[in-house]
């Protein structure tokens, strides 16, 4: 059963953040941003080796045993560590983050994307929110534990991963196949993308906990036709046929798909605002959410967006075939509906082929782990209300879930109400508030020691 209120009355361990918990997080996040780990998806980037070396050094410096590993090449590297807990009978908790980032072109940015400069109270740079902020929070937290002699109640597995931004083939997907024993006793995992604040009013802030994530169906549309001279009449033009299909898919409005997480999110926003919002009127719901509406809007239905076109080889030659790439995403339980809808949109002569598949995930918003998250948020923000939500993209949780691990996204940030946080993901001028990071490491410290 999913729920947003009325969770169990089981008391949460009273944990106060360590006095020096925020002392390093800004420095560590800046150091990580300065290490270019751009992932172009074709193996041409610098890889994550330098960042992995940095993480390894930071852990070993405070006495945390860890192993730096290679996956499919010397430059695809990550770091795995295990911090022993007081109670070996309890299942371990996996905390994970990825070290790679999407590319950035300096000419498009206000400040150098790999300089990690601080302006207007924010760290600017590629990876500031996706997700070297989260890596920095985890590193700062466990380093403070080591300095203060803190031992968590259960084993904590740390993994700083390569290749998430290109689908995790050289990262978490490789690890769960080659080294499942590293995670054998873990039953829960926490990673991106969740825990950030959404201010609805001065006295109402939602903290979005990722409990679900859309599945991936990257597809190819292929059109066949009759090749010929560009000056002739041609009623069997593959490019024309493909263009019709691309327009139909790109303009299609998919039906609302009300998963348990979507229903819970709508109820939580309604309760927080004291107004009745209906899933039947998504425009009214999204109007309450400000810039974050573009993230939430993508989680109310399946989506399919044309992203690439390929046809022809000469201006005056009609090609015999044409292709388009479609980025399809489906909500948990609605994969078949996505494929049926797209197939019904295609004109004769256009076929659909699969390219990449990725599972959808959904976890319950209840239990001791959720209670610990909620208590940690409320301890630092009395106006904070944790709520479940679905992320429209994919994360390393997809791979770890195949080991039977229940996965959540929770790396908390307190954000200024005016910040267009959704634009930060893979966007130009990515940045994160310094005070938001400090808030995040305090909350994470409270949470993980209570989990």
The total number of structural domains in the chain stands at: 2
Strands 204-213 and 196-201: antiparallel
- Residue 290 predicted with pLDDT over 80: no
Q: What CATH number corresponds to the domain at position 224? A: 3.30.70.360
For the stretch 358-382, pLDDT in tens is 999 999 999 999 999 999 999 999 9
Backbone angles phi, psi at 215, to 5 degrees: -85, 165
Q: Which of 90-99, 150-159, 293-302 has the lowest mean pLDDT?
A: 293-302
What's the number of CA atoms in the CB half-sphere (13 Å) around residue 290? 15
Q: How far is Cα 130 from Cα 163, in angstroms, rounded to an integer?
A: 13
Q: Answer yes or no: do 313 and 436 share one domain.
A: no
| Residue 326 is assigned to a structural domain of this protein | yes
Please tell me whether residues 229 and 340 are part of one structural domain: yes
Q: What does pTM read for this prediction? A: 0.90
Domain that holds residue 246: 213-358
Structure token digits, residue 72? 């499919």
197 within 8 A of 291, measured Cβ to Cβ: no
Q: Are residues 40 and 179 in the same domain?
A: yes
- Shared domain for 57 and 160, answered yes or no, is yes
**Rounded to an integer, what distance in angstroms lies between the CA atom of residue 80 and that of residue 64?**
11
Same domain? For 369 and 267 the reply is: no
In terms of domains, do 427 and 375 share one? yes
What's the length of the chain? 451
247 and 340 housed in the same domain: yes
The answer to whether residue 206 is domain-embedded is no
CATH number of the domain that 67 lies in? 3.40.630.10
Residue 17 placed within a domain: no
Instruction: Let me know whether 352 and 398 are in one domain.
Output: no
Residue listed under structure tokens 């106060």: 16
Distances (CA, A) of 242 to 71, 218, 219, 310, 348: 39, 17, 14, 10, 10
Confidence category of residue 14, pLDDT binned at 50, 70, 90: low
Where is pLDDT greater, at 351 or 233? 351
366 shares its domain with 311: no
Q: What is the pLDDT of residues 246-281, one digit of tens each?
A: 999 999 999 988 899 988 888 888 888 888 887 777
SS3 at position 143 = helix
Q: How many CB atoms lie within 10 A of CB 105?
A: 9
CA-based nearest residue to 390, from 197, 210, 193: 210
Element (H, E) at 229: strand 228-229
Q: Which residues contact 251 (CB under 8 A, 6 or more apart)?
A: none
Overall average pLDDT of the 398-409 stretch: 97
In a domain, 268, yes or no: yes
- Give residue 266's pLDDT: 85
Structure tokens at 415: 């954000």
Has residue 117 been placed in a domain?
Answer: yes
**Ordered strands of the 321-330 beta sheet:** 303-311, 321-330, 215-224, 350-358
Residue 247 lies in a domain: yes
Asked if the structure places residue 121 within a domain, the reply is yes
Domain identity same for 40 and 178: yes
User: Do 350 and 271 fall within a single domain?
Assistant: yes
pLDDT at 52 over 60: yes
User: Do 341 and 374 have their domain in common?
Assistant: no
Q: Which residues contact 8 (CB under 8 A, 6 or more apart)?
A: 366, 371
pLDDT tens figures, 115-145: 999 999 999 999 999 999 999 999 999 999 9
Contact between 413 and 133 under an 8 Å Cβ cutoff? The reply is: yes
The C-alpha angle 373, 215, 361, rounded to 5 degrees, equals 35
Is residue 203 included in any domain, yes or no? Answer: no
């Amino acid at each position: 059963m999913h729920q947003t209120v009325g969770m169990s009355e089981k008391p949460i361990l009273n944990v106060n953040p360590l006095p020096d918990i925020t002392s390093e997080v800004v420095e560590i996040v800046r150091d990580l941003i300065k290490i270019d780990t751009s992932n172009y998806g074709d193996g041409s980037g610098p890889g994550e080796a330098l960042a992995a070396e940095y993480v390894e050094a930071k852990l070993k410096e405070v006495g945390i045993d860890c192993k730096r590993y290679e996956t499919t090449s010397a430059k695809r590297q990550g770091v795995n560590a295990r911090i022993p807990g007081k109670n070996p009978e309890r299942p371990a908790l996996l905390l994970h983050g990825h070290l790679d980032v999407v590319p950035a072109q300096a000419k498009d940015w206000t400040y150098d994307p790999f300089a990690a400069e601080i302006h207007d109270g924010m760290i600017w740079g590629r990876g500031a929110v996706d997700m070297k902020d989260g890596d920095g929070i985890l590193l700062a937290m466990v380093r403070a534990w080591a300095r203060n002699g803190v031992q968590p109640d259960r084993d904590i597995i740390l993994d700083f991963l390569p290749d998430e931004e290109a689908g995790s083939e050289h990262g978490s997907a490789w690890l769960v196949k080659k080294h499942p024993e590293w995670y054998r006793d873990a039953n829960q995992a926490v990673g991106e993308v969740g825990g950030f604040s959404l201010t609805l009013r001065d006295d109402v802030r939602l903290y979005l906990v990722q409990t679900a994530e859309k599945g991936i169906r990257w597809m190819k549309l292929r059109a066949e036709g009759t090749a010929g001279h560009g000056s002739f009449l041609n009623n069997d033009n593959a490019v024309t046929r493909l263009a019709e299909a691309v327009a139909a898919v790109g303009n299609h409005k998919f039906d609302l798909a009300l998963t348990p997480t979507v229903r819970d999110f709508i109820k939580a926003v309604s309760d927080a605002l004291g107004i009745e919002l209906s899933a039947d009127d998504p425009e009214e719901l999204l109007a309450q959410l400000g810039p974050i509406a573009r993230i939430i809007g993508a989680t109310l239905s399946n989506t399919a967006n044309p992203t690439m076109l390929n046809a022809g080889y000469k201006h005056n030659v009609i090609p015999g075939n044409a292709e388009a790439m479609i980025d399809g995403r489906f909500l948990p339980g609605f994969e078949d509906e996505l494929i049926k809808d797209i197939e019904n949109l295609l004109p004769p002569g256009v076929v659909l082929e699969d390219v990449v598949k990725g599972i959808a995930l959904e976890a319950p918003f209840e239990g001791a782990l959720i209670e610990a998250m909620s208590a940690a948020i409320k301890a630092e923000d009395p106006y904070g209300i944790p709520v479940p939500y679905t992320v429209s993209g994919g994360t390393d949780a997809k791979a770890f879930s195949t080991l039977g691990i229940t996965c959540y996204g929770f790396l908390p940030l307190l954000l200024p109400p005016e910040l267009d946080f959704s634009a930060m993901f893979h966007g130009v001028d990515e940045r994160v508030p310094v005070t938001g990071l400090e808030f995040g490491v305090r909350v994470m410290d409270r949470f993980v020691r209570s989990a």
